[in-house]
């Protein structure tokens, strides 16, 4: 059997931890029971914590663990679940865990994180120069803290060598099915997904993403342009006009905006417009020409292409999937 260590810590998101443990422990088990076949358990899973002490999950549940992380000196796979509490607090309290993660990775273990668990991998320096993803709502904070990581928050799952990262929410399900396929083959992964009625997605995380509510920087001029964009996104503007408002040259604004937020100002403007369009579609708007005009675009086809590039869905498909209907509209 493959040895798996699932990290537990105070502030862990309980379902992201127990869900992974359930799926891995029942790989080769549930499907076989359903079909009357001999059991073929594939993973030996250890839930570990610093010192082997119980942990307090964000939902208040106190969870026992199998052993201390110091007792695990070899593993085929290490899983870091979602940080559900204050990220800074967890990173501070888990400083001693970082060297353990590095040690097991150097010993050949695959590493996998879900959602904000990627912060622990990045804090350990394991994502430097690598592609990763995290929850879209924490992407600005992540990028500000770890500029050396190639963050692609649009993606639901990333892989760089033997390090896997999943995006927000319940992406741990897709991640676990992928890991089962890696270790046990495609057929067993399909059986596990079918046994647990999991619809394995090929979606981009950007389908669910909005603009982060917080700005993790102290550049007053960039913040001023951000504020202006949010208030006036329907208006036509140019890089030169935005730079003039910030009392900067276009090149200076482009450089500072990109350094601070990870994207140039006109691309940020596009995202603000797309976010506004999302909200209109979720409310059931079905006149695309009028909607496009309300968010600053005169050409419907150009707007539709841009919307699909950002979200992975056409405006009409997005409305079908996310529009609130019936009593939810009341």
Task: Output the average pLDDT for the chain.
Answer: 89
Q: Report the distance separating Cα 177 and Cα 188, nearest Å.
A: 9
Cα 265 to Cα 141, 195, 273, 278, distances in angstroms: 18, 47, 12, 20
Q: Is 275 domain-assigned?
A: yes
Q: Report the distance separating Cα 30 and Cα 193, nearest Å.
A: 10
- Count the domains in the chain: 2
- Structure confidence by residue, pLDDT tens digits, 288-325: 999 999 999 999 999 999 988 888 888 988 888 777 65
**Cα dihedral 136/137/141/142 (nearest 10):** -30
Q: Is 215 domain-assigned?
A: no
pLDDT at 255: 92
Cβ-contact 207, 311 below 8 angstroms: yes
- Structure confidence by residue, pLDDT tens digits, 57-97: 999 999 999 999 999 999 999 999 999 999 999 999 999 99
Q: Is 90 domain-assigned?
A: yes
Question: Which residue range forms the structural domain that includes residue 248?
Answer: 220-329
pLDDT over 90 for what percent of the chain?
Answer: 66
Identify the domain boundary among 179, 207, 235: 207
- Please check whether residues 228 and 107 belong to one and the same domain: no
Q: Report the distance separating Cα 285 and Cα 287, nearest Å.
A: 6
- Structure confidence by residue, pLDDT tens digits, 1-60: 899 999 999 999 999 999 999 999 999 999 999 999 999 999 999 999 999 999 999 999
Q: Report the distance separating Cα 83 and Cα 32, nearest Å.
A: 33
- How is residue 259 written in tokens? 């350094």
CATH of the domain at 78: 3.40.50.880
CA-based torsion, 75, 77, 82, 87: positive or negative: positive
Q: Is 237 domain-assigned?
A: yes
Identify the domain boundary among 207, 233, 253: 207
Q: Is 213 domain-assigned?
A: no
- Please check whether residues 33 and 167 belong to one and the same domain: yes
pLDDT at 156: 87
CATH of the domain at 323: 1.10.10.60
Cβ-contact 80, 120 below 8 angstroms: yes
Q: Report the distance separating Cα 182 and Cα 160, nearest Å.
A: 14
Cβ-contact 246, 257 below 8 angstroms: no
* Selection from 215, 231, 225 nearest residue 276 by Cα: 231
Cα 100 to Cα 77, 83, 115, distances in angstroms: 13, 18, 20
- Please check whether residues 263 and 202 belong to one and the same domain: no
Q: Is 62 domain-assigned?
A: yes
Q: Is 212 domain-assigned?
A: no
Identify the domain boundary among 207, 240, 273: 207
- Structure confidence by residue, pLDDT tens digits, 168-203: 888 999 999 999 999 998 889 989 999 998 876 655
- Please check whether residues 196 and 275 belong to one and the same domain: no
Q: Is 183 domain-assigned?
A: yes
């Amino acid at each position: 059997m493959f040895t798996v260590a699932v990290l537990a810590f105070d502030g862990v998101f309980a379902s992201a931890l127990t869900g992974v443990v359930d799926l891995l422990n029942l790989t080769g088990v549930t499907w076989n029971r359903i079909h009357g076949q001999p059991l073929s358990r594939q993973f030996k899973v250890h839930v570990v914590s610093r010192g082997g002490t119980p942990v307090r999950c964000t939902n208040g549940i106190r969870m026992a663990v199998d052993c201390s992380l110091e007792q695990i000196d070899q593993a085929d796979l290490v899983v870091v679940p979602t940080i559900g509490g204050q990220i800074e607090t967890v990173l501070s309290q888990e400083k001693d865990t970082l060297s353990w993660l590095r040690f097991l990775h150097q010993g050949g273990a695959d590493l996998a994180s879900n959602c904000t668990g990627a912060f622990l991998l990045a804090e350990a320096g394991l994502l430097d120069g690598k592609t990763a993803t995290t929850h879209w709502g924490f992407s600005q904070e992540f990028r500000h803290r770890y500029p050396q990581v190639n963050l692609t928050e649009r993606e639901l799952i990333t892989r760089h060598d033997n390090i896997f990262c999943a995006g927000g929410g319940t992406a741990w399900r897709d991640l676990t099915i992928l890991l089962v396929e890696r270790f046990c083959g495609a057929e067993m992964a399909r059986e596990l997904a079918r046994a647990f009625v999991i619809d394995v997605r090929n979606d981009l995380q950007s389908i669910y993403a909005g603009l982060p509510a917080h700005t993790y920087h102290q550049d007053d001029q960039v913040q001023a342009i951000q504020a202006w964009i949010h208030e006036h996104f329907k208006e036509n503007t140019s890089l030169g006009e935005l730079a003039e408002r910030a009392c900067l040259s276009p090149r200076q604004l482009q450089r500072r905006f990109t350094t601070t937020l990870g994207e140039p100002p006109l691309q940020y403007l596009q995202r603000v417009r797309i976010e506004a369009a999302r909200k209109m579609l979720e409310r059931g708007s079905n006149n695309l020409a009028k909607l496009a005009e309300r968010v600053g675009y005169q050409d419907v086809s150009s707007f539709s292409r841009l919307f699909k590039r950002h979200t992975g869905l056409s405006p009409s498909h997005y409305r079908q999937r996310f529009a609130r209907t019936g009593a939810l509209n009341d």
